[in-house]
Chain A
Amino acid sequence: MKTIFSLINVVIAIAAGALVFLGYVFPDLLGGMRAILLQWAIILAAFALLVGILNLMQAHWRKVTTKQPKAVYSLVVLASLVATLLVTALSGPAGKWSLWIYNNLQVPIEISLLAVLAIVLAYAAARLMRRRMTWYTGMFLVTVLLVLLSTAPLYLIGEVSLLNSLHSLIVDILAVAGARGLLLGVALGTIAAGLRVLMGADRPYGG
């Protein structure tokens, strides 16, 4: 009985995938069908968000009820989640109190996390040569230093034309070439991963 259901799941995945992909190829013929399926997917993603929120709350609630270590943080997550849901739902996404929560809690924390990222990246760059001493990591480090120096006029000195030309050589030529090769490689990998699902070989949906 179970194999019948998994077979049905595989057929659904392949059929939906084929229709959407053919919608790319024949936009006039199947473009409308593709748009509808994609619109369904957008709305289903919103329903999935409801399940996701439930999952998040269940996980933290279980931590609190089973008194696992550091469960106090889970309690704080639940409290802030419920409070934000209530305030934002009542006053609307662009309401005064929603924006108050967003501007005074979420934005400062996110910017501070990126500020910590600056220190973390500097530390990672400083330890790179110790972790992997090769010609390529050396080239990487030299490139980082040159680009940082040429991103803005030097302090007190101002613009240095040599640095600017180095900057455009590195960014406009070498990086564009490497980025294009990387993007093409990633695209090949994405095609392979997607086709395995469309063939029914990979079935992450419990097929």
Chain B
Amino acid sequence: MQTGLADIFGLIIGFLLTLMVLSYIIGDNFLFRLAMAIFVGVASGYAAVLVIYNVLWYQLIVPLLTNPTANLALTIPSALLGIWLLTKGSSRLARFGNPVLAFLVGVGAATAVGGAIFGTILPQFNASTNLLNLQYASPDGAGLVSWFIKGLVILVGTLVTLAYFHFGVRSQGEGSLPQRHPLIENFLAPAGQAFIAVTFGVLFAGVYAAALGALIDRVRFVLDIILRFL
């Protein structure tokens, strides 16, 4: 019974919190702020315990306690660097933690560059060059023309979108304002901007559909609770 009670109590709290958050639609108010404060505390607390449990406990402390000699290259240096990083917790000692931060920023920058090159540029380059690759046309040749047009449109769309962002400008002759090359300014950029507008429209509709799913879920939850307790 005791668990049943906790579940019912939980449902009531969830119901109240849902209404408190939805009240933001009417305007910024005390109830919404209270719900946000509870949410920031709960979410941060839960995420903190999860990370401490899964990372610090399982990947650092347990290996150190159970088998200190194994994996020395991982446990000892990261423990020392970690304790060193804790100096960032006090504004007086913060300066001493800069070397560890420099290490993390260096690793982050390399991960970003590596991810961009090996995770985006090379795969997208390969996929773009395969758009007109007959190997990937349908084996029975049906719809070859539509496949080709589709590939061509995607190829052109990709290139004009990329061209739109050109930053450099140069004065195009005596006394004229610095501008991008006429080919870019008058043809590629407008076409690129059109593709971008359509792409953003699709992505925006996707976010909206996901949010609508959440709205319907909350409406159903509130009605269920009302019907259940009435």
Nearest neighbor of B206 in chain A, beta-carbon distance: A147
Residues of B within 8 A of A190 (CB): 112-113, 115-116
A118-B110 contact, Cβ under 8 Å, with A39-B74, A93-B50, A140-B200 = no
Q: How large is the interface on A (under 10, 10 to 19, 20 to 34, 35 or more residues)?
A: 35 or more
Q: Check B199 against A179 for contact (C-beta < 8 Å).
A: yes
- The complex places the Cα of A17 from the Cα of B153 at a distance, in Å, of 39
A195 within 8 Å of B (CB atoms): yes
Interfacial residues of chain B within 198-212, with CB under 8 A of chain A in the complex: 198-212
A182-B196 contact, Cβ under 8 Å, with A83-B45, A177-B153 = yes
A5-B98 contact, Cβ under 8 Å, with A39-B74, A177-B153 = yes
Interfacial residues of chain B within 8-28, with CB under 8 A of chain A in the complex: 10-11, 13-15, 17-18, 21-22, 24-25
B187 within 8 Å of A (CB atoms): no
Q: Check A88 against B120 for contact (C-beta < 8 Å).
A: no
Q: Check A125 against B204 for contact (C-beta < 8 Å).
A: yes
- The complex places the Cα of A175 from the Cα of B189 at a distance, in Å, of 17
- The complex places the Cα of A147 from the Cα of B205 at a distance, in Å, of 6
Partner of A117, one of B59, B206, B211: B211
Residues of B within 8 A of A93 (CB): 46, 49-50, 53-54
- The complex places the Cα of A74 from the Cα of B40 at a distance, in Å, of 10
Partner of A105, one of B14, B33, B53, B56: B14
Stretch at the interface among B134-142, B155-163, B168-176, B177-185: B155-163
Partner of A184, one of B45, B113, B158: B158
Nearest neighbor of B85 in chain A, beta-carbon distance: A47
Interfacial residues of chain A within 74-128, with CB under 8 A of chain B in the complex: 74, 76-85, 88-89, 92-93, 96, 98, 100-119, 121-122, 125
- The complex places the Cα of A122 from the Cα of B155 at a distance, in Å, of 32
Q: Check A173 against B106 for contact (C-beta < 8 Å).
A: no
Chain B residues bordering chain A, tally (CB within 8 A): 118
Q: Check A84 against B46 for contact (C-beta < 8 Å).
A: yes
Main secondary structure of the interface of A (DSSP, over half): helix
B144 within 8 Å of A (CB atoms): no
Nearest neighbor of B192 in chain A, beta-carbon distance: A181
A40-B78 contact, Cβ under 8 Å, with A8-B99, A174-B195, A191-B113 = yes
The distance from the CB of B15 to the nearest CB of chain A, in whole angstroms, is: 8
B132 within 8 Å of A (CB atoms): no
The distance from the CB of B81 to the nearest CB of chain A, in whole angstroms, is: 6
Interfacial residues of chain B within 25-50, with CB under 8 A of chain A in the complex: 25, 33-50
Q: Check A141 against B201 for contact (C-beta < 8 Å).
A: yes
Most chain A CB neighbours (cut-off 10 Å) among B6, B13, B48, B165? B48
The 9 closest A-B pairs by CB, nearest first: A177-B157, A181-B161, A143-B201, A80-B41, A178-B199, A84-B45, A104-B10, A13-B106, A112-B21
8 more contacts with CB within 8 A, not counting A108-B18, A143-B198, A180-B124, are A44-B103, A49-B48, A53-B44, A70-B33, A112-B21, A114-B210, A136-B194, A177-B199
User: Can you give 21 contacting A-B residue pairs, CB < 8 Å?
Assistant: A16-B103, A21-B113, A40-B78, A46-B52, A46-B60, A55-B89, A88-B46, A102-B42, A106-B42, A111-B221, A112-B17, A119-B25, A121-B208, A121-B211, A136-B196, A147-B202, A147-B206, A174-B153, A181-B159, A184-B121, A198-B109
